[in-house]
């Protein structure tokens, strides 16, 4: 049953409503938009779009997803509520607050919105926290995610990596180990606690660092580094007088099975090539 929007809202031609000039939300799932469009046709738009009055028409403050779905559904009019606000900084803050409350931004979108407010309006982390009624630490922790490589930011956007996992990865300084741990989170479905243990354990000592200690010959350090990148785990090689041992470290049954699977694949490739 189709319902009318609550009283107190305007019904305006959809052509008069333009998307926001800057929206914290960047990703719109096509399937979800299609489902929302079908719901709008059946039930109507129960939550009006929040807009700002412009010289010609209106600009969305919050509700771009609903506007896109309404266009997909072929609606001629949409309900809107008009916010009176001319200050650019306050508009940006309102847009972010509206999206935080209603649109479920992913962690990267939220961090990028924080960063935009800081850069555009010269705010400190503490000042932004005060304006948004947040803890300063929550602002700072969110912004740390922007230091992640693009590959990992994409995984966070798609929710293939949880916020908890992303926070742990953001605290890791070794980029190669960071990417290796991220792959293990995905492949082995590691918990946040298991990820924290890996982060604390750290990557195998790099060739450059080991060179300053003189602990091993260069060819062994290079071999350990290459094996680390191959297996995604710490590998220790000891050799003296042509004899020695190679040790692969693992910290869970799943990790052990992954190492074995890699070895099995290498053996099959070698046999096929022979």
Residues 197 and 231 in one domain: no
Q: Residue 160 is part of which domain span?
A: 148-201
At residue 212, does pLDDT exceed 90? no
- 64 within 8 A of 23, measured Cβ to Cβ: yes
Residues 230 and 169 in one domain: no
Q: What is the pLDDT of residue 168?
A: 93
DSSP run (H or E) holding 244: strand 243-248
Category of 59 on φ-ψ map: left (φ > 0), alpha (ψ -120 to 50) or beta: beta
- 109 within 8 A of 25, measured Cβ to Cβ: yes
Residues 79 and 28 in one domain: yes
Instruction: Indicate whether 116 belongs to any domain.
Output: no
Q: In this prediction, what percent of the chain has a pLDDT beyond 90?
A: 13
Q: In this prediction, what percent of the chain has a pLDDT beyond 70?
A: 82
How many structural domains compose the chain?
A: 3
Residues 165 and 234 in one domain: no
Q: How far apart are CA 176 and CA 226, in angstroms?
A: 12
Q: What is the pLDDT of residue 192?
A: 92
pTM: 0.52
Residues 197 and 221 in one domain: no
Instruction: Indicate whether 191 belongs to any domain.
Output: yes
Residues 212 and 175 in one domain: no
Q: Is 55 a catalytic residue?
A: no
Q: What is the pLDDT of residues 223-237, one digit of tens each?
A: 877 787 677 677 788
Strands 77-83 and 58-62: unpaired
Q: What is the pLDDT of residue 213?
A: 43
Residues 190 and 215 in one domain: no
Residues 9 and 72 in one domain: yes
Q: What is the pLDDT of residue 145?
A: 92
Instruction: Indicate whether 119 belongs to any domain.
Output: no
Residues 192 and 248 in one domain: no
Q: Give whole-number Cα distances, 80 to 10, 53, 68, in Å.
A: 5, 11, 14
Category of 44 on φ-ψ map: left (φ > 0), alpha (ψ -120 to 50) or beta: left
Give the CA-trace dihedral at 57, 62, 67, 70, to 10 degrees. Answer: -120
The 3-class SS string of 64-107 reads HHHHHHHHHHCCCEEEEEEECCCCHHHHHHHHHHHHHHHCCCCH
Q: Which of 153-167, 199-213, 257-271 has the highest mean pLDDT?
A: 153-167
Catalytic residue among 35, 64, 84, 196: 64
Residues 237 and 266 in one domain: yes
Instruction: Indicate whether 77 belongs to any domain.
Output: yes
Q: How far apart are CA 264 and CA 146, in angstroms?
A: 37
Q: What is the pLDDT of residues 14-41, one digit of tens each?
A: 999 998 876 656 667 788 788 888 988 9
């Amino acid at each position: 049953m189709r319902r009318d929007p609550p009283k107190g809202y305007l019904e305006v031609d959809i052509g008069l409503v333009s998307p926001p000039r800057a929206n914290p939300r960047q990703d719109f799932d096509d399937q979800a938009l299609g489902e929302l469009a079908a719901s709008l046709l059946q039930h109507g738009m129960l939550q009006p779009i929040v807009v700002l009055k412009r010289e010609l028409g209106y600009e969305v403050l919050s509700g771009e997803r609903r506007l896109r779905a309404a266009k997909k559904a072929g609606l001629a009019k949409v309900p809107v509520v008009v916010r009176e606000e001319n200050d650019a900084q306050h508009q940006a803050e309102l847009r972010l607050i509206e999206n935080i409350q209603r649109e479920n931004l992913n962690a990267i979108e939220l961090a990028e919105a924080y960063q935009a407010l800081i850069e555009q309006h010269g705010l400190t982390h503490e000042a932004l926290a005060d304006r948004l009624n947040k803890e300063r630490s929550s602002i700072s922790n969110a912004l740390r995610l922007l230091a992640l490589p693009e590959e990992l930011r994409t995984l966070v956007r798609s929710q293939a990596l949880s916020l908890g996992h992303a926070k742990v990865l953001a605290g890791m300084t070794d980029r190669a180990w960071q990417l290796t741990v991220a792959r293990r989170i995905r492949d082995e479905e590691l918990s946040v606690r298991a990820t924290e243990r890996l982060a604390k354990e750290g990557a195998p000592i790099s060739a450059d660092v080991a060179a300053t200690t003189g602990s091993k010959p260069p060819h062994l350090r290079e071999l350990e580094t290459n094996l680390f990148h191959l297996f995604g785990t710490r590998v220790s090689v000891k050799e003296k007088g042509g004899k020695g041992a190679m040790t692969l470290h693992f910290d869970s049954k799943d990790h052990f099975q992954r190492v074995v699977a890699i070895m099995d694949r290498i053996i099959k490739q070698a046999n096929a090539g022979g």
